[in-house]
Amino acid sequence: MQKNTLIAAVIMGMLLTQGLVRSEPEFTFTAAKCDNAAEINGVAKKGEYPSQAMAMKQTPERSAIQGQAARARAFHDCKTLYVTITVPFKAGTALSKGEGWGQNDGAEVCLRDASGAKPGSTFIIHGYASGKHECTTEGGAASDKVEKLDKAVKFAARAGKQSWTGEWAIPLDAIDISYKPGLSLGFNVGAWRSESGEWIVWRGAQGPTYDLDNGGKLILE
């Protein structure tokens, strides 16, 4: 029995290493249901997001980042998903405020309906420290659906002395999702920190953050 158990453990370890089996509950996050909407102003006030933080501390390759981890939180009110990301930087550092993805300080939310047998379209929403946002078609979503989402999303950002925060309000109907308790979303968040020239993600996707086959899960309470 001990020999069989050892063999099984070795095989499971090989599968995990190759990415064929995922057994990491820390990358399944529950977004609490709350009737009070978040104020989208770039300030995640204490108690405004009724959830624990998702620690963003991996590179896309799933190794440890160089600097401090970023933090993300999410909740919903049945109609809208609220997401906030705070990215720390060293005091005295000047943020790179522009709208060049991978050049200027920015963060992204990537999500799709994962409640059915076949995943829905992948939507990507960039938010910059400048306060601007954009939705892209890189995840494969149709351009008309991306345009609809871009018009519906609300985003704001604000910088402090040692961090900047972005806040998103994402209407669920803008991504073709009808809420029901326990709804599962493919989900990942990432950020580009110009100070250290690094990508910071919640779940390293071994590729772009929007590769949700290798991302995490968000369960809507």
Pairing of strands 183-193, 154-159: unpaired
Verdict on whether the full-model pTM lies above 0.85: yes
Predicted pLDDT at 51: 84
Between 24 and 164, name the one with better pLDDT: 164
Contact call for residues 217 and 31 (beta carbons, < 8 A):
no
The DSSP code for 18 is T
Pairing of strands 163-171, 183-193: unpaired
Among the listed ranges 8-22, 30-44, 69-83, 90-104, which one has the minimum average pLDDT value? 8-22
Which residues does residue 84 pair with via DSSP β-bridges, in sequence order? 73, 167
| pLDDT single digits (tens) 150-171 | 999 999 999 999 999 999 999 9
- Tokens encoding 120: 């829905």
**The CATH fold of domain 26-220:** Immunoglobulin-like (2.60.40)
First-to-last C-alpha distance (Å) of the chain: 41
Does the pLDDT value for residue 23 go beyond 80? no
- Tokens encoding 214: 């290798």
Within the chain, residue ranges assigned H as helices are 2-17, 143-152
Predicted pLDDT at 24: 61
Residue 81: exposure state from Cβ atoms within 10 A (0-12, 13-18, ≥19):
buried
> What is the residue extent of each domain of the chain?
26-220
Mean pLDDT for all residues in the chain: 90
Contact call for residues 122 and 186 (beta carbons, < 8 A):
yes
| pLDDT single digits (tens) 60-82 | 999 999 999 999 999 999 999 99
Pairwise CA distance, residues 175 & 159, whole Å: 29
Pairwise CA distance, residues 105 & 96, whole Å: 5
Does the pLDDT value for residue 17 go beyond 50? no
Residue 89: exposure state from Cβ atoms within 10 A (0-12, 13-18, ≥19):
buried
